[in-house]
Every structure is written in structure tokens, then in C-alpha cells.
Structure 1
Amino acid sequence: MEIQKKIIVLCGGKFAFPALQLLTYEKFICGIGIGKGGNTIINALERESEDNNIGFKSFTDKKSISEMRPWIDTLQPDYVFCISFPFLLPDTILSYGNDKFINFHPGPLPQYRGVMPIFEVLKNQETETAICAHFMNSKFDEGNIIFNDPVAIQKEDTYGKLTVRLSERLAYVALNMANMLQFASSIPNQQQEENLAYYYEKPELADTYINWKRMTAVEIIALINACNPWNTGADATLLGEQIKIITAKILNESHSNEPGTIVSITDTINIACEDDKQIAIAILSTDEGIMKANQFSSHNMALNNY
């Protein structure tokens, strides 16, 4: 009878939970390591690890990575899976074994390297993303690709919706990988095509801010969806106030206004866009809290009339 492979999973939080549950149920996991986790998540994982007789380690910062190799040496896994683990693993750790470290990247490689590919594929209006399984080296997202598992992007997907769906899909991708490693003597892989590669840095304000004069309605909606909920919406200026737009839709109604001006106010605030279309803002966030668009407009009108 084939001896069950032992796998350590290094993760960064809730995104890995479905995969952890499935791999634990199938008795592949021998250890769980978490990086930068909050106390609630750390406590939950530590408790589950104890209940299932699984090794557990929390890596709070880059300095604590020095504690990883002795921990791995003690548990003696056959493989190490990384799922949104926030720290780069140095050669001193990767030298534990050739092709023993596999990362599951929530975006297609090499086109979407970086820490937040889910934001980038939505902002760029892609119709498909992927979970990429690849061997790890000492650089982020640059190891040889095992496969890209495609995932369709739906029209109404927000960052939150797509993240949940990718997390659920990842559980089965990770289990399939574990089963593959259980029975295969070698795993086919190929080098990444560097001419297709692009690394996206973590989004800054300039990346999440709506430029009314340059962005079309479709681009604005894509940005709003890409920012919901992690950034509490896309950043914008409206009625002289800095806000975040959480939900909006396109109105196929022409206008003769300057982009960024209010065309009309109903249950929504309807804004002129660069391409002669409008977006209808339904929900937004201000310094006073999250509110419906008509509440925001009524409040501002009351202040202006005061």
C-alpha cells in the first residue's frame, strides 16, 4: 500500500481555509504555517491543528522566517504547499528539497505576477483568470509552471465574489495536486515565458482612483468591482468630497455634460462619463459611513442650503 504523502501548507489567512479543510480531511496535511495572520485566524488554525494532531507555526514577520527551516526539518514533509503566504522563502528554506515547494497563485502566470492578481484581472476587464500551480524559487511567482487551471470571470463579479469562488476552486486544485504527487514519480512543468511576464505591485491610491475625464463607463465599473470590498470601493471625488463608490451600474443614456458632473439624481446619483454614457451610483462610503447615494445627495443639499 502506498504511504500517504505528508504536506505542510503555508498560508496567509481565510483564502486557504477550504483547501486546508479538504486536505486535512484527506489526511495529507502534517503541518500548517501562517504568515501575518490576525489573532482570530491564528487561534482558529492553532485549535484545528491541535484537534487533528497537526503541527502549527505562526510566522509574524520576515525575521521569524528564520524559524521555518528547523520546523520543516522536524515535521519532514514530502511537499510544502503555499497559498497566499505573504513572505518570500529564501534558498536556505527551499534547499530542503528540489521541487518540493509548490505555490498556488490566484491568477494566470506569467501575465499576472504580484500580490493582488484578483484586483488586476477585474480592473483589466479579463473574461478569465486562473489558479496557477508552480514550483517555487527565490523570486515571487517566477518558478516553473505545472499548470494554469482556468476560472471564468462572471459579469457581476466583484473582488469579494471572485475571491470566494477562487478559494473554493483552489481547494479541489490543491487536492488534485496532492493526489498527483501521491502517485506520480515526476511532475511535468515548464519555464515561464518571460516575454509575457508582468509583475503588478500592490495597488496604491492612484490605481484605485476614478479619473472621470479619462475613463469610460465600462472602465469605471470594472474598477469599482475590483475595489469591492477590500478597498471599500473605488476612490473618487463627488460634490467636493472624497468618497468611495461601492456599487454602481452603467446607464446607456447620452449626455452633454463634462465627465464627472452629476447629470441627475433619482434613487441613484447619475454621473457623466467620458464616453457619452453615465454610471448610476447606488451605494458609497464617506467619512460618515456607508450609505445609499440618495442619502448622500440629500445630506449634501441640506448642508448647501443651510
Structure 2
Amino acid sequence: MKITLLTGGLYSVPSMHYLSGQKMLHSVVSLGKPDKNNIPVEVNAQHLNVPFKRFLRDELLTGFKNWLIESQPEVVLVFGCAYKLPAELLNIPKFGFYNIHFSLLPAYRGKSPVFWQIKNGENAGGITIHQMTEDYDNGPMLVQQEIPIEPNDTFGLYSGRLAMASTQLIAKGIEKLINTGNELLYPQNESKASYFPGPAIDDLKINWETQSAREIENLVNATNPDYGGAVTLFRGQPFRILEVNQVQVNNPTEAIAGSIVHADINYGIIVACKNMQYLRINIIQSSEGIFSGFKLAALGIAAGERFESAASLFGLTITP
């Protein structure tokens, strides 16, 4: 089968290598200007001696369309597309465009399903390969696979596992297309549909007063590394927390949520959450650098100080 891979991110790289090894990868395409996410895609394509093409948004119905007509891929596999593709492009390949989406559709439609699944404390997610239509994440499904979310999975760890698992699901999907074409696609169950937009900066904020220790840990994991950490204030400055874990405290006493109840170079920084739950702060990032909790204690952060919920995040941006 003659396949084009349309991608703008590193999570497509295992599938790129797999398809190249199977002699099915005709070309790799990225849409948009070069950036930190798609430049490694181009480097990998060059390493594999696979033709690489780049098209800007205003070239979708000109250069990209003409290139599709000339090259005639049988199918275009899509790993994350920054733009909504015009309907007239979708029917040019023999089998159309198929999106590799990191959730069990129709649940978690939208731009960043892994972030929301981890933040919401889901025990499992998965991968869906579905035919693309004019509407985002709505087309009929080719194949689907559930993948457990482990308690300590971060955005990066879980996405990496999904990226590796995608290779075998793509193989299964290709076999199905070869044998039956588009005849055995099955519709999404709209009664189970949910949609989540791309995270905004307010979605990254820790609210010490309302969130449990588990909810804060889920948020921290969901932001690591792609969103740069969950946001809190300390001494009036924004801190991004990249790793925490829940701990038990001997002889606990009531403390305001966000308060540091213990700090030393042996046990690090321990913070009170609501309902007398506690988190150890393992890794943070501030304007001064990236530090372990042990280092913070050595630098003088002490029990009695407090992390605060960020009421205003003016000027703070999301990193991807």
C-alpha cells in the first residue's frame, strides 16, 4: 500500500519507522512553518530517505491539493493536524484520510485528549483510527484499542506508550483496508461522545483549596512535559510543578491547603492538601531554573511557607 504520513509531532516517529520498514511509506508531509515539533519529523524522514514535503495553510487547496493529485497515495494517515482540512482533499486518496487519535472515540474528541484523560483521572484511554470527515474526530472508525493509564503516567510517558502501540494498530488497520476497503467501518456512538478543547492556561492552575491531593497529582502529570508543569504561586511568583507524589505524615495536624508542613534535605518539601492529605514536591521549575524538592529545602524554603492558588496569570503562556 502507498501511504503518506501527515504529521507535525514526534509521537508519529515510531509509525514512520514502521511504515518505512514495511516499504509502504511513500512520503511524509507537515503542515505549517517549521517548529520544535515538526523539525524532528523532517529529520527522521531524511534519515529514512523518505520524501518530505511542507505546506503552509494557504497552500492547502493549491500546492498540497496538486501534490496529492500527482502523487496519488492510497491513504493518508494523520497524526495531529493543526488545520481543518477542506472536504475536497479528503477524497483524493483511494481510501481517504485516516486520523490516529489518542482516545477511545467518541470520548475525548478534541485537540489534546491525553491531557484531559490524565487530568480527569481516567484508568484507561486508547487509540482510535478513524476516517476523517469535515468535522473534527467524527468519522467512522476503522480500528480501536484500549490502553491502560497507569497511576504515575505523565503526558509524555503515556503518549510515548500510545505512539509505540500505534504501529501495531496501524498494521491491523492497513490489513483491514487491503482486505475490505472502507466497507467495514463502524460509526461512532454519539450518545457516548465528549469534547474537550485544547487546554488554556487556567486549566493548568492548581487550586489548593478545592482540589484533592490525587486531583493535583493528576494535573501535574497531565502537564508534564508538554505543558510545562502545573501552575501555582510561591512568594508571589509563578512556579510550575512537574512532579509530585502522595505521602503519609506522622501525627498530622490541621493546616491550610498549600502550606509547607515539612522541609529538609532528607525528605524534601511536603505540602498539605485539603482533607489532611499530603504531597511531596519532587520537581519544580521557576524563573531561576529547575529544582528538586531537596534542593528547594537546601535553598531555604521552610515549613510554614505556603503555595497559593494563582488568581491571575497575566503574561504566563502555555509552552507547546
Q: TM-score, normalised by structure 2?
A: 0.86
- Separation of aligned partners in 1, 2:178 and 2:151: 38
Q: CA 1:13–1:138 in structure 2 vs 1: closer, same or farther (change >3 Å)? A: same
Letter of the structure 1 residue corresponding to residue 89 of structure 2: I
- Separation of aligned partners in 2, 1:282 and 1:291: 8
Q: CA 1:275–1:188 in structure 2 vs 1: closer, same or farther (change >3 Å)? A: farther
**Counterparts in 2 of 1:94-113, with a 5 A limit?**
94-96=90-92, 99-113=95-109
Q: Tell me the residue number matched to 2:318.
A: none
Contact 1:19 1:175 in 2 (8 A): no
How far is the alpha carbon of 1:198 from its aligned partner? 1.8
Contact 2:11 2:160 in 1 (8 A): yes
- Separation of aligned partners in 1, 2:140 and 2:42: 34
Q: Tell me the residue number matched to 1:71.
A: 67
Contact 1:15 1:84 in 2 (8 A): no
Question: Tell me, which stretches of 5 or more residues in structure 1 are unaligned?
Answer: none
How far is the alpha carbon of 1:201 from its aligned partner? 1.1
RMSD over equivalenced CA pairs, Å: 2.0
Q: CA 1:77–1:301 in structure 2 vs 1: closer, same or farther (change >3 Å)? A: closer
The answer to whether the aligner puts 1:260 opposite 2:258 as a matched pair is: yes
- Separation of aligned partners in 2, 1:252 and 1:105: 38
- Separation of aligned partners in 2, 1:89 and 1:130: 24
How far is the alpha carbon of 1:213 from its aligned partner? 0.2
Contact 2:73 2:93 in 1 (8 A): no
How far is the alpha carbon of 1:194 from its aligned partner? 2.3
Q: Tell me the residue number matched to 1:240.
A: 236
- Separation of aligned partners in 2, 1:179 and 1:218: 41
Question: Tell me, which stretches of 5 or more residues in structure 2 are unaligned?
Answer: 303-320
Q: Tell me the residue number matched to 1:168.
A: 164
**Counterparts in 2 of 1:142-157, with a 5 A limit?**
142-157=138-153
Q: Tell me the residue number matched to 2:314.
A: none
- Separation of aligned partners in 1, 2:201 and 2:181: 47
How far is the alpha carbon of 1:283 from its aligned partner? 1.3
Q: Tell me the residue number matched to 1:285.
A: 285
How far is the alpha carbon of 1:45 from its aligned partner? 4.1
After TM superposition, which residue ranges in structure 1, 4 or more long, deviate above 4 angstroms? none
Contact 2:106 2:194 in 1 (8 A): yes
Higher mean alpha-carbon deviation, 258-267 vs 189-198, is at 189-198
How far is the alpha carbon of 1:47 from its aligned partner? 1.8
- Separation of aligned partners in 1, 2:42 and 2:75: 24
C-alpha offsets along residues 136-178 of structure 1, whole Å, 9 cap, x if unaligned? 1011111112232111111221111111111111111112212
Letter of the structure 2 residue corresponding to residue 47 of structure 1: Q
- Separation of aligned partners in 1, 2:183 and 2:248: 50
Contact 2:208 2:274 in 1 (8 A): yes
How far is the alpha carbon of 1:118 from its aligned partner? 0.8
Secondary structure of the residue aligned to 1:199 is coil
Contact 1:255 1:263 in 2 (8 A): no
Q: TM-score, normalised by structure 1?
A: 0.89
Q: Tell me the residue number matched to 2:133.
A: 137
How far is the alpha carbon of 1:235 from its aligned partner? 0.7
How far is the alpha carbon of 1:42 from its aligned partner? 5.2
Q: CA 1:265–1:141 in structure 2 vs 1: closer, same or farther (change >3 Å)? A: same
Q: Please point out which of 22, 25, 39 is paired with 1:26.
A: 22
Name the count of aligned residue pairs. 294
Q: Tell me the residue number matched to 2:245.
A: 249
- Separation of aligned partners in 1, 2:173 and 2:24: 11
C-alpha offsets along residues 26-67 of structure 1, whole Å, 9 cap, x if unaligned? 111212111244374254145246x2xx443112x3213222
- Separation of aligned partners in 1, 2:13 and 2:233: 37
- Separation of aligned partners in 1, 2:6 and 2:78: 5
Secondary structure of the residue aligned to 2:299 is helix
